[in-house]
A and B are shown apart, each in its own frame.
Chain A
């Protein structure tokens, strides 16, 4: 049996995000991109047009649908993202959703979380890509690691981000800072902590575990 689902109505908080833009001091060009992302988020994507009931929907289809949704979203703002960067992100997302590695209880990426991620990447424009992971609820988590120093950002729906960073100066006791902000305030929130320490290639000195 196949059921037809209707597009989800824009949530109050999603609708609010566009109006919130006006109150935040950001580049008008970037506001336009962010607005486009919000608009796309509220449209019915082809992958969502016909969905089998949950009881018959196989895992592979769920993962495919989740990936298709975020790739379509990315393609709509492709002109603002370097082609190679886009392909690398897609590879990381494919790897995250590898069906051979998928464990019971894991949640595929949420489209609304990825929309926040896109806005953040376009806004802070880091030279170095982050490693990617997923929260228990399917929010995208980005991790930059420089030596022992760590910056971790969780991208939540409705343009919210929360971040935590740890810097080990001369001792084993790190200085740890955390914040929770609107995505457009992320750069300002990180600024006192010199985020270039994580975002630039020059600072990188981490080694993969053996």
Chain B
């Protein structure tokens, strides 16, 4: 297991689970990306929950599979939900250009050792959240694209 760090490296990536209701769709429900609301942290949370992708071993595809399966073990993941992937440096840059100096830190939890958080993210800045949705979390992974593992996760 990798050792705990405070700030995630700029070259690394984080993954965010996005429910069906927060996905950006066209008028026929084709998924196009994310709504700003996908990146609004909960009122009672101090950071936006993400998984650290490079926590998982192997190549990029293995890391994505590992992260998605970790989400499935720890939270409710519905069939049509998706996952957004963003580069750490890009997320910080997008936030900075919108007036927010965020930190992206490793916050391992007992049941999710890849758990990390985006701290100091303003909760209700619609422009900033839209910028994150459009310009920072630029990769989308459909939940259905990741096969179940042996345990059914």
**Smallest CB gap from B98: residue in A:** A176
Is residue B127 within 8 Å, beta carbon to beta carbon, of the partner chain? yes
User: Given A95-B29, A103-B19, A176-B130: A131 and B79 within 8 A (CB)?
Assistant: no
Check B25 for interface membership: any CB of A closer than 8 A: yes
B 18-29 to A, binary, CB cutoff 8 A, 1 in contact else 0: 011111111101
User: Closest residue to B123 on the A side, CB-wise?
Assistant: A136
> Chain A interface: which of B4-12, B32-40, B55-63, B110-118?
B32-40
Alpha-carbon separation in the docked complex, A141 to B135 (Å): 19
Asked if A53 CB lies within 8 Å of chain B CBs, one says no
Residues of chain A with a CB closer than 8 A to B42's CB: 105, 136
Interface size on A, residues (CB 8 A): 37
Bound Cα distance from A208 to B33, whole angstroms: 9
When distances are taken between beta carbons in the complex, the residues of chain A under 8 Å from B32 are 131, 143, 145, 206, 208-209
B130: A residues at CB distance < 8 A? 150, 152, 164, 166, 176, 178
A98 contacts B20, CB within 8 Å? yes
Contacts of B19 in A (CB 8 A): 101, 103, 106
- On chain B, the number of residues with a Cβ less than 8 Å from chain A's Cβ atoms is 32
Kindly state the separation between the CA atoms of A145 and B34 in the bound complex, as whole angstroms. Answer: 11
Task: Check B80 for interface membership: any CB of A closer than 8 A.
Answer: yes
B85-107 toward A: CB 8 Å interface, digit per residue (1/0)? 00000000000000000000000
Question: Residue of B at shortest CB range from A109?
Answer: B21
Q: A101-B81, A102-B78, A209-B33 are in contact. Are A178 and B25 (CB under 8 A)?
A: no
Nearest CB of chain A from residue B95's CB, rounded to whole Å: 14
Complex CA gap A10/B134 in Å reads: 38
**Contact in complex: A164, B26 (CB < 8 Å):** no
Residue numbers in B under 8 Å from A128 (CB-CB): 27
A97 (CB) vs chain B CBs: closest residue: B21
Q: Is the CB of A178 within 8 A of B26?
A: no
Decide if B40 touches A174 in the complex (CB within 8 Å).
no
Question: What residues of A have a CB within 8 angstroms of the CB of B23 in the complex?
Answer: 133
| Minimal Cβ-Cβ distance residue in A for B21 | A134
Instruction: Report chain B residues within 8 Å CB of A104.
Output: 76
Cross-interface CB contact of B35 among A98, A102, A152, A178, cutoff 8 Å: A152
A97 to B142, CA, bound (A): 19
**A103 CA to B26 CA in the complex, in Å?**
21
Residues in B whose Cβ lies below 8 Å from that of A95: 29
Cβ 8 A contact of A106, one of B21, B80, B142: B21
How far apart are the CA atoms of A18 and B112 in the complex, in Å?
Answer: 51
A-B contacts, 29 listed (Cβ < 8 Å): A95-B29, A98-B20, A98-B80, A100-B79, A101-B20, A101-B21, A102-B78, A103-B20, A103-B21, A105-B42, A106-B21, A132-B25, A133-B22, A133-B25, A134-B21, A134-B37, A135-B37, A136-B37, A136-B40, A145-B24, A148-B134, A150-B134, A152-B35, A154-B126, A164-B126, A174-B135, A176-B130, A178-B127, A209-B140
The 3 closest A-B pairs by CB, nearest first: A208-B30, A131-B25, A129-B27
Supplied contacts A100-B78, A103-B76, A209-B33, 19 more A-B pairs, CB within 8 Å: A98-B20, A100-B79, A102-B78, A106-B19, A128-B27, A131-B26, A131-B29, A133-B23, A136-B40, A143-B24, A143-B32, A148-B134, A150-B130, A166-B134, A174-B134, A174-B135, A206-B26, A208-B31, A209-B30
